[in-house]
Amino acid sequence: MLQLRSLAFNAAFYVWTALIVILGLPVALMPYPAVYWLGRTWVHGSLWLLRRIVGLNHRVVGLEHARTHPAIYAAKHQSSWDTLVFALYLQLPAYVLKRELLYLPLFGLFLLRAGHIPVDRTGRAVALKGMLSAGKARRDQGRDILIFPEGTRVKPGQHKTYQAGVAALYGALDLPVVPVALNSGLFWGRRTFNKKPGVITLEFLTPIRPGLSRKVFMAELEKRLEGASQRLARS
């Protein structure tokens, strides 16, 4: 039954995505708020399919720490689900994402027009400079910035070395950083076909104020984010 529900969801999700991309092509010519409206419509529909077909819902904890002013959100990344949900709770968030996603047929066009921040992970110093320039532009638009500090999906209960990008953004943009813990990987794992029913927890933690040294900031971010993530992995 789990495999059948997962198969049905995957089929419905790809059909829904194709409809949004094809029917929404004229929106790609509009300013980014319109593109984001279309993206939120896609996310709402995708999560509705996930609830109805798989029985997978989510709850949000600590929402009072979000949307109070522009901020950098540093989130754990365990599942494809994570790339969907933040569009619903943040202020037109600009995702820091790998540049290769822009090459996806049509879908990449929407990512570009939505004003996300692509990073060439082989470019190092040049890529970092471009990310900071784009980050400042998004900040000046009053938008939130979302980054996955580990740079890739990681299984629940595990973690990888935090990349330099989150510290660079923190130092350059003079914005608070809100750590975000979650346990989505317990239900929709990395490179797994099956999606399990249940309730994913998304938890916004207390913001880290701007102005700390790089070393202190990175230690504080990892302590808060990993501690909360380990707790949610056991829930």
As to burial, measured by CB atoms within 10 angstroms (0-12 exposed, 13-18 middle, 19+ buried), residue 178 is buried
Cβ of 7: how many Cβ atoms within 10 Å? 13
- C-alpha distances out from residue 227 to 39, 104, 130, 158, 231, Å: 32, 35, 32, 11, 6
- In the chain, what are the domains? 56-233 (3.40.1130.10)
* Pairing outcome for strands 56-61 and 198-204: parallel
Q: Which pair of structure tokens corresponds to residue 202?
A: 């998304």
* Residue whose token pair is 């209960």: 157
* Residue whose token pair is 């056991």: 234
How far is it, in rounded angstroms, from Cα 195 to Cα 189?
Answer: 8
The residue count of the chain comes to 235
Per-residue pLDDT of the chain (235 residues; tens, 9 = 90+): 888 999 999 999 999 999 999 999 999 989 989 999 999 999 999 999 999 999 999 999 999 988 778 999 999 999 999 999 999 999 899 999 988 888 888 888 999 899 999 988 776 778 888 899 999 999 999 999 999 999 889 999 888 999 989 999 999 999 999 999 999 999 998 878 889 999 999 999 999 999 999 999 999 999 999 999 999 998 7
Q: Which pair of structure tokens corresponds to residue 40?
A: 């939120």
- C-alpha distances out from residue 185 to 4, 25, 59, 80, 89, Å: 20, 32, 15, 9, 20
